[in-house]
Amino acid sequence: MKIINYKGVIDRYKKYLPITERTPVISLNEGNTPLIYASYLSKLMGRGFAVYLKYEGLNPTGSFKDRGMTVAISKALEEGSKVVMCASTGNTSASAAAYAAKAGLKCVVLIPKGAIALGKLSQALIHGALVLAVEGNFDTALNLVREITRQYPITLVNSLNPYRIEGQKTASFEICDVLGNAPDFQIIPVGNAGNITSYWKGYKEYKELGKIKRLPKMLGFQAEGAAPIVKGHPIKTPKTIATAIRIGNPASWQQAERARDESGGLIDTVTDREILSAYKLLAAKEGLFVEPASAASVAGLLKLSRCGYFRKSHNTQHTIHNKKIVCILTGHGLKDPERTIKTIKSPKVIKPNIKAILKEIGD
């Protein structure tokens, strides 16, 4: 058997990335995440549709952010930077902290006080970042980071940094490399809107290169209480249990709208109730544990399916055949164990004997 020594997204997709021989590559072997056929969801969608799940929770720090961070940190090092900084709802800070640790760079992260999941906070702390909890939300924190990195020699590693977008586009390359073409539809959660921007850039580049024959429709989902793009104005106090996407004024707002419009897709909302229902369904029926924000893509799939979107967007003269839908599962479920415990019944306490156990197992 041939053993492939996989070395991360820069190594694999170097020729499509702003990397030179002088770039010191800092990688944790991110990327190469599985595209999993979703048997339950495909069946639910009915004849002619196949649903795939891009399980980005299997990246080294447990989210898609690692794809962008390997490029951003490598370039920061190449450019002689000593300090990197980000604002974060959690995953960016976890990723920045890990890659900065490997690169030997100082990392400063601003998080909204009390509003990031425990797993993510643990990661930023254990990797040795300076973690500052700002009395304010993500948008306030990002504005502070923008201001500081403009005035001082500190590299911003939020997705406003174009290297982040470059790295993250490798996820669409992987999807196309596996499917042999772009999917018909891609569904993705939208927070600060860097990821939808990256995927769309990746698909367009692969199309230009002749590697794929079509472009997917980009379908983005925001949480109902944090849906500035859908509502058409910034949200002062965004609210959702999906803390990763609790963002009221996305940095890549216009790029997200462009991805939506150029692809003939849409950006819509899902409620927290729909998010949690998809969160439980993914775990119970597909065997995949994701964080709530990631379940927004599957909540969106179910919402669009209920209102007949996929059948409507098809030319009715032909029977529907082999339509591929990819949902992006952006982060691992272990990031936010508190939410799981709040959502699912706690284990029942029993007496330590076989009879008591058998009684619970039932027939």
Residues that bind ligand AN7 (CB under 6 A): 63, 88-92, 159, 189-195, 244-245, 291, 293-294, 330-331
Q: Smallest distance from the beta carbon of 203 to ligand AN7, in angstroms?
A: 16
H/E element, 88: none
Q: Smallest distance from the beta carbon of 70 to ligand AN7, in angstroms?
A: 16
Q: Smallest distance from the beta carbon of 340 to ligand AN7, in angstroms?
A: 15
For the chain, strand residue ranges (E) read: 35-37, 49-55, 83-87, 106-112, 130-134, 155-156, 185-189, 217-223, 266-270, 323-329
Q: Which is nearer to ligand AN7, 49 or 228 (CB)?
A: 228
**DSSP secondary structure code for residue 274 in this structure:** H
Report d(CA 59, CA 61) in Å as an integer. Answer: 6
Q: Smallest distance from the beta carbon of 256 to ligand AN7, in angstroms?
A: 8
Q: Which is nearer to ligand AN7, 189 or 228 (CB)?
A: 189
Q: Smallest distance from the beta carbon of 293 to ligand AN7, in angstroms?
A: 4
Q: Cβ(186)–Cβ(326) under 8 Å?
A: yes
Amino acid identity of residue 238, one-letter, is P
Q: What are phi and psi of 336, to 5 degrees?
A: -130, 65
Q: Smallest distance from the beta carbon of 116 to ligand AN7, in angstroms?
A: 8
Q: Which is nearer to ligand AN7, 87 or 215 (CB)?
A: 87
Q: Which 3 state secondary structure label does DSSP give 280?
A: helix
**Sign of dihedral through CA atoms 308, 312, 313, 314?**
positive
HSE, CB side, 13 Å, CA atoms: give it for residue 15: 2
Q: Smallest distance from the beta carbon of 32 to ligand AN7, in angstroms?
A: 18
Using the structure block, give the residue that is written with the tokens 């339509």: 323
Report d(CA 156, CA 285) in Å as an integer. Answer: 40
Q: Smallest distance from the beta carbon of 317 to ligand AN7, in angstroms?
A: 37
Q: Which is nearer to ligand AN7, 50 or 224 (CB)?
A: 224
Tell me the sheet residues that pair with 251. none
Q: Which is nearer to ligand AN7, 119 or 189 (CB)?
A: 189
Q: Which is nearer to ligand AN7, 76 or 296 (CB)?
A: 296
Q: Smallest distance from the beta carbon of 67 to ligand AN7, in angstroms?
A: 11
Q: Which is nearer to ligand AN7, 50 or 86 (CB)?
A: 86
Report d(CA 206, CA 13) in Å as an integer. Answer: 12
CA distances (Å), 181 to each of 193, 196, 210, 215, 318, in order? 24, 18, 10, 9, 21
Q: Which is nearer to ligand AN7, 302 or 320 (CB)?
A: 302
Q: Which is nearer to ligand AN7, 183 or 191 (CB)?
A: 191
Using alpha carbons, select from 315, 237, 242, 304 the residue that is nearest to residue 273.
242
Report d(CA 346, CA 335) in Å as an integer. Answer: 18
